[in-house]
Amino acid sequence: MIKKYSFEIFKPNWPKWKIAIADLLLNSITYLGVAKANKMLKTHQGLKNEVFINQVIKDLGHKFEYFGTENIPATGPVTLVSNHPGGADVIATIAGIAKKRTDLVILANELICVEPVVDIVLPVNTMSTKSKLDMDMVHDAYKKGKVVVFYAAGKNSRYNSKGELRDRKWRSTFLEFALQYNTPLIVLNIGGSNADIFYKVSKFRENSSKLNKIPLENFFQLRELVKPKKETIPLLFSEVIPSAYIHEKLDGFDVKEKRILSDKLYDFLYSMEKENLKFK
């Protein structure tokens, strides 16, 4: 749980004096947005969960447009799978689902797991080479009948050779949970993107043998939150895909069948339109 953004997140074993110097530098680089993010946390420290998120959206001036939120079942566990284009997609997702129901959890980078949203963000340690997530927390959310949100790519989208902003191939973990807990499934298409510098730094890192495994582009993630896009970002929630359909298409936990269905859902997401949110 993060009470404020600090270099201690990356180097928890550093001496306090080193952390203090690093934090001074981080907060002085206004472009990164660290100081502004910490100011928001302090200003709204009494708010929690979707109330905190909606206040942040209002303060910063983010503009989101939602389509299909009425498709979210009013009660019971739901599996929701989404693309992960970057920008302010996490707060947009939370705010959108909260229009229908507030009992949700979202699997997201642990850097998003600040104290006001600790109840609804399940932290994923993207740097870990072992266990990235406490799976017991996911099981607990399903048992409590919550909406569980998966960014199935596990990382922000990147531009492909055609110049399209796309997720990498989805992991099919969300289907395993949908099967196990017999839940309906909803696909969420989020518009928007990160700033150009994110992709430039990402490309530089990928081409560097020494820096390849260090996600330098993540240092620019907070900037995406505190510096909203000028345009309105659309979010499209699909019509419900019944649990019976998932069971019909998957032979238990067959790996090949999961891959086929996961790819089909991926393709559907990028074909979604406001006028047609039905999976076929």
280 residues of the chain, pLDDT tens digit each: 667 888 787 777 889 999 899 889 888 988 888 899 999 999 998 999 999 999 999 999 999 999 999 999 999 999 999 999 998 999 999 999 999 999 999 999 887 788 899 999 998 876 655 667 889 999 999 999 999 999 999 999 999 999 999 999 999 999 999 999 999 999 999 999 998 998 988 888 877 766 566 667 777 888 888 889 899 999 999 999 999 999 999 877 788 999 999 999 999 999 999 999 999 8
The full set of domain ranges for the chain reads: 49-269
- Taking only the tens place, the pLDDT of each residue in 76-101 is 999 999 999 998 999 999 999 999 99
As a CATH number, domain 49-269 is 3.40.1130
**Helix 173-180, helix 135-143: angle, nearest 10:** 40
SS3 4: coil
Provide the whole-model pTM.
0.91
Cα 105 from Cα 107, distance rounded (Å): 7
192 contacts 86 by C-beta, under 8 angstroms = yes
3 state SS of 252: coil
Provide the H-helix boundaries in the chain.
16-28, 34-43, 49-60, 89-97, 135-143, 173-180, 196-206, 221-226, 243-249, 255-269
